[in-house]
């Protein structure tokens, strides 16, 4: 199956040779071709270029994209899409003045989601989660990472990871699975934290690795959750079973989690709402991708990741949704890109780089996703007619997507 898209107003994120990430001042550069074409052959990008160089071909499908922009699908490297029910009441509690921490301290938050998940059948969790996955696909996401972490028991965590595996088997987008048993301490381990960590290390991780249910191991390294020492212990155990670390750090406090992530060569460190110069320095010249979650900051009314300071320091930055029932009940990467521009003062070029090529890096998909490069996955966004790609973050409340291509086919 050959699909030809012609007369593209602008083809974004064009990389002749594949690169893994962009950092610092390079993030402001978004290579593109105006008045372009692109050829999709089966599930891959076969060719692209300027219309004046369009070769003669017999395409099965030809699409005229006059006035429209084409870019790679969003790469969302941090989500919690698999969960049961919702936490609408906590949303109202926050409006009425309770903080995220206060809600958690009275049995809400992650523990609330864990209770619901453990009371819900695997089939029902799958049915709820697939609707969320289908929604984000139609919003332009072409690769996604999904975490466990609402089980907090070996049965619950395995149930979540099996649902993630089933989604990956039944849907065409690339899905990476992350084990996040260290999301919170379950109620019955409240006074025996060492006991729960031992269960994660000696029971959960070996069982998950044996069943090949996860690519990564994650820890919520934060005051009141898992300490730096506990985080390092869990990361080490994951590494021993072939799970590369990706960790939650610096959401509310800077406690040394970033330095721990770098020490264990974490693929990414995520949240980063609270950053000091020591944290920024620790990330320089490393292979660890910082990931910002601006819609979480928006929903919780907490600080935004200091993107300008980080980019000025030469760091790369990725953007992701943090789609979850408590702090970010949205998987809309278009809103994430817009919010990064509006609230974090990222330029549209920086935000698109962060949501495509750097997002792909943050889930180990640099070789197949995140840019318009020959032989990469034909996962694309075709916009409606727009004046320029600046309109994507500018018109933050509008759906500017006409079609989404996954594996070279238009998503119905």
Mean pLDDT in residue range 70-90: 95
The span from the CA of 323 to the CA of 79, in Å, is: 5
Beta carbons of 77 and 178 less than 8 angstroms apart: no
pLDDT band at 99 (very low <50, low <70, confident <90, very high): confident
The span from the CA of 123 to the CA of 309, in Å, is: 45
Residue 358's φ and ψ, nearest 5 degrees, are -75, -30
> Residue 359: its pLDDT value, please?
98
Mean pLDDT in residue range 120-135: 97
pLDDT tens column, 305-360: 999 999 999 999 999 999 999 999 999 999 999 999 999 999 999 999 999 999 99
The span from the CA of 260 to the CA of 83, in Å, is: 28
pLDDT band at 160 (very low <50, low <70, confident <90, very high): very high
> Residue 107: its pLDDT value, please?
76
> Residue 100: its pLDDT value, please?
76
Average pLDDT, the chain: 96
> Residue 287: its pLDDT value, please?
97
The span from the CA of 76 to the CA of 331, in Å, is: 9
Q: 26 CB contacts (<8 Å, ≥6 apart)?
A: none
> Residue 102: its pLDDT value, please?
86
pLDDT tens column, 382-407: 999 999 999 999 999 999 999 999 99
- Check whether 112 has a pLDDT greater than 90: no
Q: 211 CB contacts (<8 Å, ≥6 apart)?
A: 158, 161
Mean pLDDT in residue range 231-244: 98
- Give the CA distances from residue 346 to residues 159, 281, 352, 389, in Å, rounded to whole numbers and listed in that order: 38, 20, 10, 14
Q: What is the 3-state secondary structure (H, E, C) of the chain?
A: CEEEEEEEEEEECECCCCCCCCEHHHHHCCCEEEEEEEEEECCEEEEEEEHHHCCCCCCCEEEECCCCEEEECEEEEEECCCCCCCCHHHHHHHHCCCCHHHHHHCCCCHHHHHHHHHHCCHHHHHHHHHHHHHHHHHCCEEEEEEECCCCCCHHHHHHHHHHHHHHHHHCCCEEEEEEEEECCCCHHHCCCHHHHHHHHHHHHHHHHHHCCCCCEEEEEECCCCECHHHHHHHHHHHHHCCCEEEEEECCCCCCCHHHHHHHCCCCEEEECCCCCHHHHHHHCCCCCEEEECHHHHHHHCCCCCCHHHHHHCCCECEECCCCECCCECCCCHHHHHHHHHHHHCCCHHHHHHHHCHHHHHCCCCCCCCCCECCCCECCEEEECCCCCCCHHHHCCCCCCEEEEEECCEECC
Beta carbons of 391 and 385 less than 8 angstroms apart: no
Beta carbons of 136 and 331 less than 8 angstroms apart: yes
Q: How many CA within 13 A on the CB side of residue 187?
A: 12
> Residue 108: its pLDDT value, please?
83
pLDDT tens column, 201-233: 999 999 999 999 999 999 999 999 999 999 999
> Residue 8: its pLDDT value, please?
98
385, two tokens? 């007619």
Q: Report the predicted TM-score, pTM, of the whole model to 2 decimal places.
A: 0.96
Q: 314 CB contacts (<8 Å, ≥6 apart)?
A: 23, 24, 25, 284
4, two tokens? 């030809």
Cβ count within 10 A of residue 403: 18
Report the DSSP pairing between strands 44-50 and 74-79. unpaired
């Amino acid at each position: 199956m050959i699909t030809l898209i012609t007369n593209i107003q602008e083809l974004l994120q064009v990389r002749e040779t594949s690169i893994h990430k962009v950092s610092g001042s390079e993030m402001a550069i978004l290579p593109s071709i105006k008045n372009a074409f692109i050829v999709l052959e089966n599930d891959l990008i076969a060719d692209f270029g300027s219309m004046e160089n369009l070769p003669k071909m017999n395409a099965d499908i030809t699409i005229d994209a006059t006035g429209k922009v084409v870019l790679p699908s969003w790469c969302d490297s941090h989500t919690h899409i698999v969960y049961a029910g919702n936490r609408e009441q906590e949303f109202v509690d926050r409006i009425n003045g309770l903080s995220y921490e206060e809600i958690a301290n009275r049995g809400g938050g992650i523990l609330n989601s864990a209770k619901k998940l453990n009371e819900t059948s695997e089939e029902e969790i799958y049915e709820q989660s697939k609707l969320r996955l289908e929604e984000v696909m139609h919003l332009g996401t072409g690769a996604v990472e999904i975490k466990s972490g609402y089980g907090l028991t070996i049965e619950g965590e395995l149930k979540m990871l099996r649902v993630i595996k089933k989604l990956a088997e039944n849907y065409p987008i690339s899905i990476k699975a992350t084990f996040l048993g260290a999301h919170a301490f379950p109620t019955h381990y409240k006074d025996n934290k060492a006991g729960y960590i031992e269960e994660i290390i000696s029971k959960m991780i070996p069982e998950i690795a044996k069943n090949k249910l996860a690519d990564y191991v994650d820890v919520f390294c934060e005051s009141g959750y898992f300490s730096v020492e506990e985080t390092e212990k869990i990361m080490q155990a994951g590494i021993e079973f072939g799970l590369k670390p990706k960790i939650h750090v610096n959401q509310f406090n800077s406690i040394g989690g970033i330095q721990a992530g770098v020490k264990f060569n974490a693929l990414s460190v995520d949240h980063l709402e609270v950053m000091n110069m020591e944290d920024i320095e620790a990330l320089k010249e490393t292979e660890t991708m910082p990931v910002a979650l601006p819609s979480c900051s928006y929903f919780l009314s907490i600080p935004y990741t200091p993107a300008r300071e980080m980019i000025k320091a030469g760091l790369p930055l990725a953007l992701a949704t943090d789609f979850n029932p408590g702090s970010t009940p949205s998987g809309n990467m278009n809103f994430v890109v817009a919010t990064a521009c509006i609230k974090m003062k990222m330029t549209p070029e920086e935000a698109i780089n962060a949501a495509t090529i750097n997002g792909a890096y943050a889930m180990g998909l640099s070789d197949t996703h995140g840019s318009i490069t020959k032989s990469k996955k034909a996962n694309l966004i075709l916009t409606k007619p727009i004046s320029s790609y600046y309109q994507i973050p500018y018109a933050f409340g509008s759906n500017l997507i006409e079609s989404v291509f996954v594996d070279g086919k238009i998503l119905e």
